[in-house]
Structure 1
Amino acid sequence: MTAPHVPSELRTPRLLLRAPRPEDAAAVHAAVQASLPELRPWMVWAQEPDDLPATTQNLQAAAERYAAREELRLLVWTADGRELIGSSGFHALDWRVPKGEIGYWISSAHIGHGHAQEVAGALTTFGLDTLGLRRIEIRCDSANERSARIPRALGYTLDATLRHNAVAVDDPARLRDTLVFSVVR
């Protein structure tokens, strides 16, 4: 299967999901900086976050990968597009299967309002119905209970617990387990 046309925006009842742009760097940088205490236990990139110029370069590269359908990162905004809430999208895309993995993070100011579940649910429907994906995965650290609740709530199946498959991002002396959830069609 070749990569289908993908719109640059998706909407949920409360949110705007939009392909990244370099001019979003200030909003992304501020949200990451404000959320580091919550992100550092789980995200490799949060250990040494980008400065503003590197964030701009990162978003430029993400926009290019989006245009090439290699990775579909989406920035999550309030419905009016004024406040950044987080980031999500499809990673590890393989159009031959076709399959992808949904990742997500929500800024600290917006945690606990169901935004990650709303986004993951919308992307699951979009991935299966519009992109024609046959498999979608959500992976998370087994200790990240908040993140693991989302695929369970959306009806994903726990396929595996990959035991000691990675070094803990916030403690290189500790190994971590990864939960692999999937939905297939």
Structure 2
Amino acid sequence: MKLADLAAAPDQRRTARLLLRVPGPADGALLMDSFNASLPAYRFIHWAQRRSGPFTLQEAADLGGRLLGYHRSGSSLHYLVLRTAEAGAEAGAVVGLIDLHSFDFEAPRVELGYVGDVRQAGRGLMREAVMAATEIAFELGFIRVQALSDARNTRALHFAESLPGFRREGELRGYEPDPWGAPTTQVMFAALRPGLVLATEPPPAP
């Protein structure tokens, strides 16, 4: 794979209950409302813990613009997750934000990140969204989608363990600092592209 392959990434994807689409500056109000409602729950997320107060509309609009720019340049892919008409009165409500980042085109593998709106929790919506993003990654040509969670974040670990096709692979001790600078243990989860055959025999003799 190569960077140019990311040009095939769709700008949106529909599932049974959701619309995943690339965010932009016009989504400032949606992002602001969702983030501000959920910030207290984002205890292990660096950017959330570094904030001194809630998002302003301008900050959220600027963030939407940056995410759009990242998506267009291929440095990372981003999808705002919204409920669709099937949700009735909640149609258009923000479910969360998903990104595909840290591309390794040689492997090829990609890391998955996500934050959910706490007001939509407990309905399987973020699980549906994450599986859609994983499907996009496989369609682009990646054979491995991986995700990391702080070992202390029991809610995130439970969520990752519930994702179809993902397997808990182990712990990475002292992998990165938490928002307060303390070294952490990160738990690795990963899914492989369906049908992938892994090498099991020794390589040919030189």
Alignment check: 8 A CA contact 1:34 1:108 kept = yes
Q: Which residue is 1:17 aligned to?
A: 20
Please state how far the C-alpha of 1:25 moved relative to its aligned partner. Answer: 0.8
Letter matched to residue 44 of structure 1 = H
RMSD, matched Cα: 1.9
Q: Which residue is 1:141 aligned to?
A: 150
Kindly indicate which of the two structures has a greater share of residues assigned to strand.
1
Percent of aligned pairs with the same amino acid? 26
Task: Find the aligned partners of 2:46 and 2:160 in 1 and give their Cα distance.
Answer: 21
Letter matched to residue 48 of structure 2 = A
Task: Find the aligned partners of 1:176 and 1:23 in 2 and give their Cα distance.
Answer: 36
Alignment check: 8 A CA contact 1:9 1:16 kept = yes
Q: Which residue is 2:174 aligned to?
A: 164
Q: Which residue is 2:45 aligned to?
A: 43
Alignment check: 8 A CA contact 1:101 1:138 kept = yes
User: 1:111-133 CA deviation, whole Å, 9 max, x = no partner?
Assistant: 111122111122222221x1111
User: 1:29-62 CA deviation, whole Å, 9 max, x = no partner?
Assistant: 11111111111x1111112164322222221111
1:106 to 101, 106, 116: 116
Please state how far the C-alpha of 1:174 moved relative to its aligned partner. Answer: 4.3
Give the TM-score taking structure 2 as reference length.
0.80
* Structure 1, gaps ≥5 residues long: none
Residues 30-179 of structure 1 aligned to structure 2 (within 5 Å): 30-39=33-42, 41-47=43-49, 48=51, 50-80=55-85, 82-128=92-138, 130-153=139-162, 154-169=164-179, 172=180, 174-179=182-187
Number of positions where the alignment pairs a residue of Structure 1 with one of Structure 2: 181
Instruction: Report which stretch shifted further, 158-167 or 85-94.
Output: 158-167
Task: Find the aligned partners of 2:81 and 2:24 in 1 and give their Cα distance.
Answer: 12
Q: Which residue is 2:200 aligned to?
A: none
Alignment check: 8 A CA contact 2:35 2:55 kept = no
Task: Find the aligned partners of 1:105 and 1:9 in 2 and give their Cα distance.
Answer: 18
Instruction: Report which stretch shifted further, 113-122 or 88-97.
Output: 88-97
Q: List, as ranges, runs of 4+ consecutive aligned residues in structure 1 with deviation greater than 6 Å.
A: none
Is the partner of 1:181 in helix, strand or coil? strand
Give the TM-score taking structure 1 as reference length.
0.88
Is the partner of 2:140 in helix, strand or coil? coil
Instruction: Report which stretch shifted further, 81-90 or 18-27.
Output: 81-90
Q: Which residue is 2:88 aligned to?
A: none
User: 1:136-181 CA deviation, whole Å, 9 max, x = no partner?
Assistant: 1011111222222233222322233112333332xx2644211111
